[in-house]
Structure 1
């Protein structure tokens, strides 16, 4: 038979060990990364303009400012210019990188073509996503349009598609 003093010490030790174990909360690993969702919120637009005899460039930065070089004359009669805006839904804490596709050719409704070079993004790539789903992060992307003279680029609407790859790490 066991000594009553030792038995009491074992009981107290067991109860203390049980209390210590109950005081700690169990944690599992974090949720696996959920697939990122990307949607287009706004298309890239350079607004309206008149090109002269030598052409030039029109740049829309990701913040929405427009810069014009050469003999291009901007027109402000209700034609808006703005960057492309994409909405990304991803787990908070993931790193998102943006990879721009190659330069593309925009074709005109009355003939002609212009080259489009995609620019920087805002936030600058790569960045750490700070929103939790279902909230979305807006990413603005600008670009530069190379405009020829009025013979190479007659008036009209110029359209095309560009590709951007969003990478989640």
Structure 2
């Protein structure tokens, strides 16, 4: 699996009580709670990976439950990886050296503006690709 693009939730404020920012596997963004999304030129998009496997290979992906992201000014938020496109499990349709592109969406949970400091939040995660 080759990473092509990191997941990004764009710019937002958690608001008074916090909530979630959701990036779908197709790249749309929605929010819940008191979260206020900003359109400040900071892009939001799903994670994208490419898988190289023979055509017809059945692929399933194991993802971690929750990932803690640390803030550049302190604090933390929680990332939960969600649906994939294509939906799992799926069959690859191309043969190497071509690759199958997989998008993964996620849900970011942020506390209130009192507990979620402004800044950039970063972290990493590992996923496992099963090929049958």
Same fold (TM over 0.5): yes
Q: What residue number does 2:12 align with?
A: 49
Contact 1:101 1:165 in 2 (8 A): no
Correspondence 1:164 to 2:127? yes
Q: What residue number does 1:62 align with?
A: 25
CA-CA distance at 1:162 after TM superposition: 1.4
Q: What residue number does 2:79 align with?
A: 116
- The count of corresponding residues between Structure 1 and Structure 2 is 132
Correspondence 1:151 to 2:114? yes
SS of the equivalent of 1:58 reads: strand
What TM-score does the superposition give when structure 1 sets the normalisation length?
0.77
Higher normalized helix content (fraction of residues): 1
Of structures 1 and 2, the one with the larger relative CO (CA 8 A, separation 6+) is 2
Q: What residue number does 2:3 align with?
A: 40
Q: What residue number does 1:77 align with?
A: 40
2:59 to 80, 96, 100: 96
Unpaired stretches in structure 1, ≥5 consecutive residues? 1-37
Aligned counterparts of 2:22 and 2:127: Cα–Cα separation in 1: 18
Correspondence 1:129 to 2:84? no
1:102-160 per-residue CA deviation (whole Å, 9 max, x = no partner) reads: 20100000011001111010001110110011111100000000011111111000001
Higher normalized strand content (fraction of residues): 2
Contact 1:84 1:140 in 2 (8 A): yes
1:142 to 105, 108, 113: 105
